Chain A
């Protein structure tokens, strides 16, 4: 479980995140959605400890995240960004095993874990021996996911993970990710600006606008009980302008 308590962040006069309180349920997938600059990425980066909030605190499980314990706390988080954020000077496998090797885990345990994970994300052994620049976008994203899962963290955080992919790879990966989330029962927070993706993944959806939470609830809540017209506008705007085009999920 992740608790965000009265967390706020401003840059100069710009409010990136107004005082926000949120609980992310353990074992569920929560999606943060909203237009650019709504504060969804800021909130995610505060949970990872990449941004220190001006006020408030973040609890991961029972423990508050501080500057002193951030390093160790991060070992219990898997963080995946757009295009994987892989280190170009390391092969895919070296990227995946970097932290485990640094923490002096046995090579036997590391190898077992890599085999299990490559089966899980369906990545071939040959791809693992390549450098990031020689991998396709989808492969890079799978490697990024393997790296995040390496130490089997309880929490997975995704910042627009599929944003840079072509539609076919993207839909393929969406299905795979959904299955992985269901199988592993991790606490997942996923940032996206795509309503279809939010609807597909989210047990809970949090819609943000200008640094504030507009509405939090299930897809049905947002569709049937919008708290303000903006919720409906936001969902509508994401449908195809073509009247005959049917959104597959909504």
Chain B
């Protein structure tokens, strides 16, 4: 078993240790996935280059940290995001200025791809017509409209806070909504206004009116390549090939490619191949039900299952190795009790994406960061149950052990831990089940698992893919629960089992 786990760890760490020649990153939305795929395939087409695409790593902060940390070499970015969000410039800067600011970090920006994907606000065409709303300024007269914005747009300086000030918009803090879900919400009339990207595929399909930014609040969001400065020297041929992408993708072309992904269900690889005039061999969507089953047991099923199980159980293993001693410490040293329980309690309250963003600079993107995050989340139930299990042992039994003349360590090993075993095991079970669910976030930082399907399902608004990730995760959670129940029967001493063979007295 130990050897098996060791093999798993080695297998998981291999891609980060022996980095491929070119590693491409992308953010967690359709367009970024497609552009990442185009970059990867362009590089692959160059002689002697292998390229890996780490899909949908997360939001800007996570992908940028990955680039800075050297986990990826290049990813598609937008000038406006770079300008305002990453470099926090007060006034818009040109590409030369940006490059001067990025150089000290070992990064550069180049190859404008040819389209501008800026932010905009959109609302249903009919409603806009009825209320006579065409521009952002018109919105100021309609505080009754329901507005919901993507979390990223709500938080970033060039998003809602700046926009609200610039147009004096009367809305109080809007609700946050995942960008993948906002079109559905608008179609069902749950909300009236949301933020969109001007190259979104669904603008036409959902009959939305894109409102005009009449005061030119949003800067240019020209798509460019953000890369590590060592890339052109390290892979000159590949870099030359990537430079040829300059100006090749028009806004119209980008909307069309986004629509191919989100409305026609084509894979990102297929779309990128189509763009690069390569042979298209992946089929498009057929019968939706068959496609769900195909997706569920697709080629990646075992890979994702192995990744998911490894994430859960390796982090759980470390959780046990650290959590049980911490729980013992908390139970034995009264002064340590509150500090230990409070700290592991606080860790539990940190939102998963925030924790990941914090861990990436320390452990890079990918499996190590995900393992550390899952390990931290696994601690609370294990520590708390170990503490409770040990504290709840009747004092008469603790004293009996003491009065026998057993040393401290022997009392713990022979008496207290066996008596607390059931409670401790229940804590480990809770951590394992929670970890199965939490491990789906690992996909956002490229650590794989069923979350990959959930992330791309969300990005594509494709329920079949989403369910093909969510259902196996739920089944795995049930299996883990069942497995621990069996383990309980097997490990807990017969004298502590509630049912035992009845004996005549």
Contact = CB atoms under 8 A, between A and B. Distances in A.
Contact of A99 (B397, B404, B496): B404
B263 to A, nearest CB: 62
B478 interface: no
Interface stretch (A10-18, A20-28, A83-91, A227-235): A83-91
B407 A87 contact: no
Given A85-B396, A88-B419, A131-B495, A77 B414 contact: no
Nearest to B494: A131
Contact of B500 (A48, A50, A71, A134): A134
Contact of B405 (A72, A85, A135): A72
Contact of B418 (A48, A77, A89): A89
Contact of A79 (B403, B494, B496): B403
A81 interface: yes
A86 B495 CA distance: 11
B405 A91 contact: no
Contacts of A90: 493, 495
Interface residues of B, number: 24
Given A102-B414, A130-B503, A131-B495, A87 B419 contact: yes
B397 A85 contact: yes
B396 A81 contact: yes
A161 interface: no
Contacts of A71: 405-407
Interface in B398-417: 399-407, 410, 414-415
B233 interface: no
Contacts of B401: 87
Contacts, number: 68
Contact of B404 (A91, A98, A131, A136): A98
B403 A91 contact: no
B505 interface: yes
Given A88-B496, A130-B503, A136-B505, A50 B399 contact: yes
Contacts of A72: 405
B410 A102 contact: yes
B402 A50 contact: yes
Interface string B254-282: 00000000000000000000000000000
Interface in A58-102: 70-75, 77, 79, 81, 85-91, 98-99, 102
Given A71-B407, A134-B503, A85 B400 contact: yes
Contact of A89 (B402, B404, B405, B493): B493
B388 to A, nearest CB: 17
Contacts of A88: 397, 419, 495-496
A136 B504 CA distance: 10
Contact of B496 (A77, A89, A91): A89
Interface residues of A, number: 29
B417 to A, nearest CB: 10
A133 interface: yes
A86 B414 CA distance: 13
A147 B415 CA distance: 15
Contacts of B496: 88-89
A39 interface: no
Contacts of B505: 134-136
Interface in A110-149: 130-136, 147
A52 B68 CA distance: 61
Nearest to A71: B405
Interface in B482-505: 493-496, 500, 502-503, 505
A191 to B, nearest CB: 14
Nearest to A51: B399
Contacts of B405: 70-75, 77, 99
Contacts of A81: 396, 399-400
Contact of B495 (A48, A73, A99, A132): A132
B296 to A, nearest CB: 44
B419 A74 contact: no
Interface of B: 396-397, 399-407, 410, 414-415, 418-419, 493-496, 500, 502-503, 505
| 5 closest cross-chain pairs (CB), A and B | A74-B405, A131-B495, A85-B400, A89-B493, A79-B403
8 contacts: A77-B403, A79-B404, A85-B399, A87-B400, A99-B406, A130-B503, A131-B495, A134-B500
Interface of A: 48, 50, 70-75, 77, 79, 81, 85-91, 98-99, 102, 130-136, 147
